[in-house]
Amino acid sequence: MTRSFEIPGGAADSLRLRRRRALTLTCLGDGANVSMLIYSAENPLDRLNIPDTLKAQMSARVTAPMVLMSDMGRALASVTGSSLDWHDAVTGHGLDAHVEQRHGPSSYAAHGNDWRRSARAGLLDELWKHGLGARDLHAGVNWFTKVGPAGDERGSLAFVPGHAVAGDWVTLRAEQDLLVVLSTSPHPLDPAENWQPAAVRVTVEEVAAPGGGDPSRTFRAESARALAVTERSLL
Amino acid sequence: MTKAELLFDLTVAAGDGWIGEVPVGGSFRITDLEGNQAVDTLFYDARDYTNRYSAVDTIREQGAVYLTTGSVLRTVNGDALATIVDDTCGRHDTIGGACSQESNVVRYGEHTRHQHACRATFLRQAIGWGRGLDKRDLTHNVNFFMNVPLTPEGGLTFQDGVSAPGKYVELRAERDLLVLVSNCPQLNNPCNGYNPTPIQLTGWAAP
């Protein structure tokens, strides 16, 4: 069974994603950004840990077939495929101050439901619904965004405009039951003058358990161990 | 010039930790006594622990990954916590996070599960502080004296430290700070030169 729905640009949402279901995000416009936080549904104290994910897989970006790892060494989700080879995970999401600085003040009273809400505002709105909040914020993934390293002495980073276009996609396979919290507000380094955040389509479908030859398992010994530890704990 | 009042000057043994406050305008120095020693450090606004250090907000606002003199360490709300005002090492990491027993299993195998790790020290110090700090408040830290170069192609590796005996980094507190330190016990990669050693922590009041 496949379920699919649309999230407009500049909005936030949250969903429970069961183990062995795949979530595909598809950009419905150019320049989309999806800032995502991920928690174990069973124990939200165990949340996505980007430093652990990156250092274990020797990568400064998120890309297929990497395994997204939790604070306690478990596989949360595997990136099973994507039309893009770079998703950002080191520059955080937008705060109210970023939105106001670039686009001016906005409110429901002034702009109705088209008011400009930062990723932080939307993510907190969703976290609070689940009994979580500011203490549960963590470094997330900015799907469809690339902030590339220059390779210089400072480790300078630069936002890459035009990285994602309409039709770009990424698929995550949940390796345990998850709480996924996301915002479609623009990345704070996106230089676009106009507030035109792109919508995304979310598609969820059931998928098979990863087999012995699954690309996320064979990617690296570290990826395989994170999957194995998780599978052993969920017999 | 009158010397600022010394608040503390102590040695933290290999694998041990420390938690304490540095007042606004005060200074905090970490000295790598024997060289190549990673010092995993978290900072909090001492008046509001949810306004805590954020590696990704710090990286984005300075437009660069490595920390050195001039780097402003920022909170999850974008507020300035501390500025690095002196740095004889030259480069510090904030992407690599802290080691934990569980991440050691993933990275090095089951045989490392019961080795001592930074996040055990963080937890022990946070709980011992006794003011409501717990695991929820532990986030992605600074690794002083650690070298984790990043390539334009998206590679990331832990390399041998760029530090040496006596190198230090000094920060100025931009608000009242709570500082949480783990003197890293990691034995499985070059971050401590495979030999964890003591560090010195020194704090001064505002001049």
Q: Which of A60, A86, A147 sits opposite B155 (nearest CB)?
A: A60
Chain B hits for A69, CB-CB cut-off 8 Å, are 103, 106
DSSP chain A: -EEEEEE-TT-EEEEEE-TTEEEEEEESSTT--EEEEEEESS-TTSBB-HHHHHHHTTBSSB-TTPEEEBTTS-EEEEEEEES-S-BB-SS----HHHHHHHH----HHHHGGG----HHHHHHHHHHHTT--GGG----EEET--EEE--STT-BEEE-TT---TT-EEEEEESS-EEEEEE-SPPTT---SS--PPPEEEEEEE-PPP-TT-HHHHS-HHHHHHHHHHHHHT-
Other Cβ atoms less than 10 A from the Cβ of B6: the count is: 10
Q: Cβ separation of A63 and B149 shorter than 8 Å?
A: no
Q: What pTM value is reported for the model?
A: 0.97
A226 CA: distance to closest CA in chain B (Å): 6
Q: How confident is the model over A79-130, as pLDDT tens digits?
A: 999 999 999 999 999 999 999 999 999 999 999 999 999 999 999 999 999 9
Domain ranges of chain A: 2-233
Q: How confident is the model over B9-39, as pLDDT tens digits?
A: 999 999 999 999 999 999 999 999 999 999 9
pLDDT at site B200: 98
Higher pLDDT, A1 or B161: A1
B7 CA: distance to closest CA in chain A (Å): 29
Binning pLDDT at 50, 70 and 90, where does residue B164 land?
A: very high
Binning pLDDT at 50, 70 and 90, where does residue A233 land?
A: confident
Other Cβ atoms less than 10 A from the Cβ of A31: the count is: 21
Tell me the two tokens of residue B60: 């984005």
d(CA A127, CA A136) in angstroms, rounded, equals: 8
Could you tell me whether strands A141-143 and A34-40 are parallel, antiparallel, or unpaired per DSSP bridges? Answer: antiparallel
SS3 B162: coil
Closest of A9, A13, A33, A36 to residue A196, by C-alpha: A9
Binning pLDDT at 50, 70 and 90, where does residue A26 land?
A: very high
Name the DSSP class of B113: T
Q: How confident is the model over A5-17, as pLDDT tens digits?
A: 999 999 999 999 9
Chain B hits for A188, CB-CB cut-off 8 Å, are 60
- Return the percentage of chain B with pLDDT > 90, whole number: 90
Measured CA to CA in angstroms, residue B161 lies from A113, B167, B185 at distances of 51, 11, 15
Q: Is the ipTM of this complex over 0.90?
A: yes
Which helix (DSSP H) or strand (DSSP E) does residue B28 occupy?
A: strand B27-32
Q: Which of A73, A155, A226 sits opposite B150 (nearest CB)?
A: A155
Cβ contact A162:A33 at 8 Å: no
Tell me the two tokens of residue A196: 């035109």
pLDDT, averaged across chain B: 95
Could you tell me whether strands B27-32 and B167-173 are parallel, antiparallel, or unpaired per DSSP bridges? Answer: antiparallel
Could you tell me whether strands A200-206 and B177-183 are parallel, antiparallel, or unpaired per DSSP bridges? Answer: unpaired
Q: Cβ separation of B95 and A73 shorter than 8 Å?
A: no
Q: Is the pLDDT of residue A234 over 90?
A: no
Chain A hits for B102, CB-CB cut-off 8 Å, are 71-74, 229
The residues on B that touch A, with CB distances below 8 Å, are 50, 54-57, 59-60, 63-66, 68, 76-78, 95-98, 100-103, 105-107, 109, 135-137, 139-140, 148-152, 154-158
- What is the torsional sign of CA A175, A181, A185, A189? negative
The number of CA neighbours under 13 Å toward the Cβ of A28 is 15
Q: How confident is the model over A201-227, as pLDDT tens digits?
A: 999 999 999 999 999 999 999 999 999
A79 CA: distance to closest CA in chain B (Å): 16
Nearest 10 degrees: CA dihedral of A44, A50, A53, A59? Answer: 160
Tell me the two tokens of residue B90: 């030259």
Chain B hits for A55, CB-CB cut-off 8 Å, are 95-97, 103, 107, 148, 156, 158
d(CA B183, CA B76) in angstroms, rounded, equals: 24
SS3 B42: strand
pLDDT, average across residues B43-67: 98
Burial state string for A207-222 with b = 16 or more CB within 10 A and e = fewer than 16: eeebeeebebbebbeb
Q: Which of A58, A97, A133 sits opposite B156 (nearest CB)?
A: A58
Q: Is the pLDDT of residue B1 over 50?
A: no
Chain A hits for B77, CB-CB cut-off 8 Å, are 95
- Return the percentage of chain A with pLDDT > 90, whole number: 97
For the ranges A48-52, A59-63, A87-91, B2-6, the lowest mean pLDDT is seen at B2-6
pLDDT at site B157: 84
A72 CA: distance to closest CA in chain B (Å): 5
- Residue B101, φ and ψ in degrees, nearest 5: -60, -40
pLDDT at site B2: 55
Burial state string for B145-158 with b = 16 or more CB within 10 A and e = fewer than 16: bbbbbbeeebebbb
pLDDT at site B108: 96
Q: How confident is the model over B80-119, as pLDDT tens digits?
A: 999 999 999 999 999 999 999 999 999 999 999 999 999 9
Tell me the two tokens of residue A95: 């705060």
